[in-house]
Amino acid sequence: MTKSKKTLSILAFAQVFSHCLAAAVATAGSTPCGRLKRPNIPGANVISIHSQHLPNASVLASPPLLNSNFTGLDICNVDLVLSHHGAKDEVKVKIWLPSTGWNGRFLGTGGSGYAAGFFELSLAPVVALGYAAASTDAGLSGDPYSPAAWALDSKGNVNKDLLLNFASRSVHDMAVAGKAIATEYYGKRPHHSYWSGCSTGGRQGLVAAQMYPEDFDGVVAGAPAIDWARYVVAEQWPQVVMREEGTYISQCVLEAFTNASIAACDSLDGLTDGIISDVRACKFDPHALVGSSVNCPGKEEVVTEEAASVVAKILAGPKGLEISHPYALNPGAALDSLSNTTIVDGTRVGLPFFVNDAWIKYFIKRNPLFDTSTIGYSAFQAIFNQSQQEYGKIIGSYDPDLSGFKTAGGKAIVWHGLADQLIFPADTVDYHQKVEKVIGNSSTLAGFYRTFLASGVDHCGAGPTPGAVPVDPLEEVVAWVEQGKSPDVLEARKVKPDGTIVARDICAFPLTSRYRSGDVTLASSYVCSSQTQ
Ligand SMILES: *[C@@H]1O[C@H](CO)[C@@H](O)[C@H](O)[C@H]1NC(C)=O
Ligand SMILES: *[C@@H]1O[C@H](CO)[C@@H](O)[C@H](O)[C@H]1NC(C)=O
Ligand SMILES: *[C@@H]1O[C@H](CO)[C@@H](O)[C@H](O)[C@H]1NC(C)=O
Ligand SMILES: *[C@@H]1O[C@H](CO)[C@@H](O)[C@H](O)[C@H]1NC(C)=O
Ligand SMILES: *[C@@H]1O[C@H](CO)[C@@H](O)[C@H](O)[C@H]1NC(C)=O
Ligand SMILES: *[C@@H]1O[C@H](CO)[C@@H](O)[C@H](O)[C@H]1NC(C)=O
């Protein structure tokens, strides 16, 4: 051994030793990372546990899931594999515990699309803030884009055990496991537990509040994929309309319709800034564009009567006996995700969004080769109904009875971008109203459950839309739970392409933001108002 290596190893030993000493002094009853025991998870066997102190872990950026690098993380890494009684599943749970600077809290993190979680990509940013945190794959493949690897068993039947894991069971198991491991490691229970997620992650947080109301004291649910069994089928609607009407529209013309809807309704909130705040007051007629010429790549396209009719039907959403409220995007949302098209052999054809395409193929038709472009109006109604009948109870995540969560003292911040191009904000509003009906009193509801609709913000605030995105709703739910500071508004921010920072306060539904006077980039220039025009 060379001298420098020896010095290094002595240094490392001294570091580890002093760390152990400090930990032992600080928390009698704690357990060294390497000696943590398998937690008891009702309904499941923990097949294995591996725990290891990682004094200098790094997680590299992996956009869009993680946008910056995290280095120098000093953590206890715990990997569990568990299996449910009677199910042939193998569920991975990863728990990260900060070695120093634990803030006393446990945090569950969620997934997106068909993934239940992203392990270190979700854990790094919150562990850096001092949370003990967990992530699970629910026993699935981890591929957010496709359930192909797990949806069907070898006989071609839907794998109900794995669907249940994805829907709800894995969230609860992770909370039980994460809290038990944190308690053993630190020698004391987390004083509070939280959930933070968007899209599928938002759904997972709300399903916990519905089914396991004691798991989390505070829940942040962004753009929640609730009402899954219905809204996912409704995401197919734009493709159904284009198919049935025989008119597939180019991305460029779709964008022209989105732009025209913004132009038509932008000023209703008192300010012309490319953002629609008051979608309820917005009346946009796509037919106003007929005959106008759009400057598209390579050529001018003239908007046809047929295209305008198709867009009007898409914006109205599907109607039918089993369809209780609009499943449709707001004016101002980009149309080219759900209504996307492409050219194949010189002909424009539909390009369905992967979530609805895969749901219908695997879970409704149980046939990976099923071609969703064949679905017309009447097949759509049958599929919408079948999806809800077969899967509503399993993965609907739409139970409006949050009285258990309220009784447990839970608080929920739900937020949704009004220009979400994938998940319908109208569904989040409908759920809010259903929860209010069960609770029976809007001020009682506001005591534990608030919805914030972010103007001009796309799905999970990840894209280029101009609206201000919530800055730190997790911190706001923590302040609500631990200090009783109820969030009247959510602090939001957007950095414009020119570097200007726009600050806004997002109003609690049903209020909407209106421009009052003054500097348009300051939150104080706006008020929350119940007025619609
Ligand atoms: C921690 O890891 C980084 C690389 O991510 C390395 O540059 C650094 O030297 C390491 N620090 C220690 C104390 O080992
Ligand atoms: C993260 O680190 C990698 C490797 O060190 C580097 O190439 C990359 O530019 C960094 N990314 C960001 C977003 O800082
Ligand atoms: C829509 O508006 C955006 C932003 O102003 C602009 O960049 C884009 O070219 C417009 N698209 C069409 C098709 O007019
Ligand atoms: C729409 O489809 C095109 C392929 O024609 C693809 O490149 C593009 O990313 C899709 N747009 C969206 C928003 O999904
Ligand atoms: C939906 O399905 C249920 C159960 O199969 C059936 O009773 C009901 O009539 C269906 N609704 C429609 C509109 O087809
Ligand atoms: C709702 O509850 C609040 C206090 O909890 C009470 O003051 C108010 O009268 C109730 N409103 C209705 C409509 O019952």
Q: What is the pLDDT of residues 277-292, one digit of tens each?
A: 889 889 999 999 999 9
Most distant CA atoms of the chain, gap in Å: 82
Last residue of a domain, one of 190, 220, 243: 190
* Nearest-angstrom CA–CA distance, 456 and 311: 20
User: What is the per-residue pLDDT for 532?
Assistant: 57
- 157 and 239 co-located in one domain: no
Question: Who lines ligand 4 at CB under 6 A?
Answer: 251, 336-337, 340, 342, 351
User: What is the per-residue pLDDT for 270?
Assistant: 87
- 121 and 241 co-located in one domain: no
Which DSSP letter does residue 382 get?
H
Kindly report, residue by residue over 199-212, the tens digit of the pLDDT. 999 999 999 999 99
Would residue 221 count as lying in a domain?
Answer: no
Kindly report, residue by residue over 109-159, the tens digit of the pLDDT. 999 999 999 999 999 999 999 999 999 999 999 999 999 999 999 999 999
**pLDDT, average across residues 396-423:** 98
User: What is the per-residue pLDDT for 134?
Assistant: 98
User: What is the per-residue pLDDT for 28?
Assistant: 64
Last residue of a domain, one of 190, 217, 244: 190
- Whether 60 lines ligand 2, by a CB cut-off of 6 Å, is yes
- From 406, 438, 443, give the residue whose CB has the most ligand 6 atoms within 8 Å, as the site to mutate: 443
- The SS3 of residue 152 is strand
- Whether 440 lines ligand 6, by a CB cut-off of 6 Å, is no
* Nearest-angstrom CA–CA distance, 101 and 22: 12
- 39 pLDDT exceeds 60? yes
List residues bridging with 93 in a β-sheet: 80, 136
Contacting residues for 32 by C-beta, under 8 A, at least 6 apart: 20, 23, 53
How far, in Å, is the centroid of ligand 1 from the Cα of 25? 27
**Ramachandran bin of 133, using left for φ above 0, alpha for ψ from -120 to 50, beta for the remaining angles:** beta
* Nearest-angstrom CA–CA distance, 479 and 452: 17
* Nearest-angstrom CA–CA distance, 81 and 456: 41
Residue 47 and residue 90 in contact, taking contact as beta carbons nearer than 8 Å: yes
How far, in Å, is the centroid of ligand 2 from the Cα of 108? 26
Would residue 257 count as lying in a domain?
Answer: yes
- Whether 71 lines ligand 2, by a CB cut-off of 6 Å, is no
Helix 251-265 vs helix 305-316: crossing angle, to nearest 10: 70
| Catalytic machinery residues | 199, 420, 459
Kindly report, residue by residue over 80-110, the tens digit of the pLDDT. 999 999 999 999 999 999 999 999 999 999 9
- 173 and 242 co-located in one domain: no
What is the four-CA torsion angle of 457, 459, 465, 467, rounded to 10 degrees?
A: 10
* Nearest-angstrom CA–CA distance, 145 and 166: 14
Number of domains in the chain: 2
Kindly report, residue by residue over 497-514, the tens digit of the pLDDT. 999 999 999 999 999 999
How far, in Å, is the centroid of ligand 6 from the Cα of 416? 27
* Nearest-angstrom CA–CA distance, 128 and 139: 26
- 257 and 360 co-located in one domain: yes
Query: What is the dihedral sign for C-alpha 142, 146, 152, 154?
Result: negative
Residue minimizing CA distance to atom 3 of ligand 2: 60
Ligand 6 atom nearest residue 440's Cα: 14
Residue minimizing CA distance to atom 3 of ligand 3: 259
* Cα 426 to Cα 112, 227, 490, distances in angstroms: 20, 11, 19
- 326 and 387 co-located in one domain: yes
- From 56, 59, 60, give the residue whose CB has the most ligand 2 atoms within 8 Å, as the site to mutate: 60
- 409 pLDDT exceeds 80? yes
- 366 and 278 co-located in one domain: yes
Closest CA relative to residue 469, chosen from 452, 486, 481? 452
| Residue 263: alpha-carbon gap to chain centroid | 29
- Whether 58 lines ligand 2, by a CB cut-off of 6 Å, is no
How far, in Å, is the centroid of ligand 1 from the Cα of 55? 9
User: What is the per-residue pLDDT for 27?
Assistant: 59
User: What is the per-residue pLDDT for 16?
Assistant: 42
User: What is the per-residue pLDDT for 291?
Assistant: 98
Kindly report, residue by residue over 291-315, the tens digit of the pLDDT. 999 999 999 999 999 999 999 999 9
Kindly report, residue by residue over 260-278, the tens digit of the pLDDT. 999 999 999 889 999 998 8
Which tokens go with 370? 């099923």
- Whether 99 lines ligand 3, by a CB cut-off of 6 Å, is no
Query: What is the extent of the structural domain holding 137?
Result: 29-190
- 457 pLDDT exceeds 70? yes
Q: Among 4-13, 387-396, 420-429, name the one with the lowest average pLDDT.
A: 4-13
